[in-house]
């Protein structure tokens, strides 16, 4: 069955700005049909890595927050900590990053809560109905505690997933650090002895006997026979001494991400918004960004995150690409293999179709959609 995806472009007449248009779009798409009265409403978004300039402006978050407040809901903006050591790997740094990028209660209209807690270890294990790769997804507690879930994503390229849209914002974005590890890696923990300070803080996180302290060297080590690769220890180390090879095959990575997204939205009201603007070739997790690969397209909203992603990628592929971006540079390289897809051509190691196909298989949504244009 086709899902409805609502769309409006960024063209604005005098006195109606893009945020007003976004409010009209999400109302037309049916956000008011969700009972928000007195409910905690998690708005999952990406606050941008420090130095990146393509993340969504807080003004857009405010437009969604205003709408939820008008419906009697209790909104909060949220994200989980990152697996890699950037400016968002624990709640303190993450909050400072969000504030520095403009996401304050004054600008966004509601608090920011880092869903998986101070060190990214505060998660809930959520069964994945129909899951083939993940039995229990490790999702940030505040995301799961919310009564209503809303995804507000910036649609752009991604070096592994091809593009980052609703499913990536939900699946990867709502995983705790251990949850992100599970999606990215089949491997076991590794401790860098050059970085380890021998504080033993990580020991109490491991329930499997995977960590063994070397008294002589005063360093932590990993017993590769006992380590089950659960990822629990990574959030415990204040010094980024623990790491995992990001070695999951692209197909598994995509399927696990879809299953994580299913775990987040299953069994409760959810709604999804994607803004296709500043379509940089790589994601907002980078400390910089390239020029866009295609022009700004518009805003999309749907109850179906899969249909939403399909509509956004289809709309991008109809655009004429910009010159002098990573996309055109890749296409000039010797041996370039044309995959007839801007996202996969811009990131030759990326692939997204298995994610969409698996999302449909496990019942996350429908790849068939009807586009409803809101003027």
Q: Which residues bind ligand SF4 (CB under 6 A)?
A: 188-189, 191, 196-202, 205-206, 208, 210-211, 220, 222, 227-233, 236-237, 239, 241-242
H or E element in which residue 39 lies: none
Tell me how far, at minimum, the Cβ of 256 lies from ligand SF4, in Å: 16
Minimum gap (Å) between residue 202 Cβ and ligand SF4: 3
Closer to ligand SF4 by Cβ: residue 234 or 299: 234
CB 176 within 8 A of CB 80: yes
The minimum distance between CB 209 and ligand SF4, in angstroms, equals 8
Least distance between ligand SF4 and beta carbon 219 (Å)? 7
Q: Nearest-CA neighbor of 17 among 66, 73, 74?
A: 66
CB-wise, 51 or 209, nearer to ligand SF4? Answer: 209
Which of 226/287 has CB closer to ligand SF4? 226
Residue 329, token pair as written in the block = 């540079």
Kindly tell me which of 42 and 233 has the beta carbon lying closer to ligand SF4. 233
Q: 38, 31, 28: which is closest to 67 by C-alpha?
A: 31
Q: State in angstroms the smallest separation of the CB of 241 from ligand SF4.
A: 4
Nearest distance from C-beta of residue 195 to ligand SF4, angstroms: 7
| Closest C-alpha to 195, from 215, 220, 212 | 220
DSSP state of 374: -
Query: Judged by CB, which is closer to ligand SF4: 231, or 269?
Result: 231
Residue 243 vs 284, nearer CB to ligand SF4: 243
For ligand SF4, the closer of residues 228 and 373 by Cβ is 228
Q: Shortest Cβ distance from residue 200 to ligand SF4 (Å)? A: 5
Backbone angles phi, psi at 327, to 5 degrees: -60, -50
Cα angle 45-49-50, degrees, rounded to a multiple of 5: 135
**Nearest by Cα to 158 from 286, 297, 53:** 286
Q: DSSP string of 209-228?
A: S-EEEETTTTEEEE-TTT--
Concatenated DSSP letters for 56-121? Answer: PPHHHHHHHHHHHHHTT-EEEEEE---SSSSS-SSHHHHHHHHHHTT-SHHHHSS-EEETT-TTS-
The residue with its CB nearest to ligand SF4 is 210
């Amino acid at each position: 069955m086709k899902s409805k995806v609502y769309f409006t472009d960024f063209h604005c007449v005098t006195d109606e700005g893009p945020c007003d248009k976004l409010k009209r779009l999400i109302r037309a798409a049916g956000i008011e049909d969700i009972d928000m009265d007195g409910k905690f409403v998690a708005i999952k978004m990406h606050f941008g890595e420090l130095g990146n300039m393509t993340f969504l402006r807080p003004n857009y978050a405010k437009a969604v927050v205003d709408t939820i407040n008008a419906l009697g809901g209790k909104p909060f903006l949220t994200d989980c900590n990152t697996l890699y050591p950037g400016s968002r790997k624990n709640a303190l740094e993450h909050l400072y990053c969000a504030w520095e990028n403009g996401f304050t209660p004054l600008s966004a209209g509601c608090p920011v809560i880092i869903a998986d807690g101070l060190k990214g270890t505060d998660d809930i294990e959520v069964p994945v109905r129909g899951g083939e790769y993940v039995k229990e997804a490790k999702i940030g507690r505040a995301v799961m505690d919310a009564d209503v879930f809303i995804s507000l994503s910036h649609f752009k390229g991604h070096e592994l997933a091809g593009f980052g849209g609703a499913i990536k914002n939900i699946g990867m974005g709502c995983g705790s650090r251990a949850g992100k590890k599970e999606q990215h890696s089949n491997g076991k923990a590794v401790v860098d002895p050059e970085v380890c300070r021998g504080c033993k803080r990580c020991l109490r996180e491991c329930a499997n006997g995977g960590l063994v302290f070397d008294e002589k060297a005063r360093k932590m080590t990993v017993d590769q026979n006992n380590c089950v690769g659960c990822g629990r220890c990574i959030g415990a180390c204040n010094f980024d001494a623990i790491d995992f090879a990001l070695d999951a095959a692209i197909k598994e990575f995509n399927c696990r991400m879809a299953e994580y997204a299913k775990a987040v939205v299953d069994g409760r009201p959810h709604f999804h918004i994607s803004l296709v603007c500043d379509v940089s070739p790589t994601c907002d997790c980078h400390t910089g960004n390239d020029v866009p690969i295609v022009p700004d397209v518009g805003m999309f909203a749907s109850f179906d995150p899969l249909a939403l992603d399909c509509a956004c990628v289809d709309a991008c592929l109809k655009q004429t690409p910009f010159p002098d971006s990573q996309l055109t540079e890749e296409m000039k390289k010797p041996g370039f293999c044309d995959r007839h897809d801007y996202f996969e051509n811009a990131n030759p190691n990326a692939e997204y179709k298995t994610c969409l196909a698996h999302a449909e298989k496990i019942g996350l949504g429908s790849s068939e959609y009807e586009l409803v244009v809101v003027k």
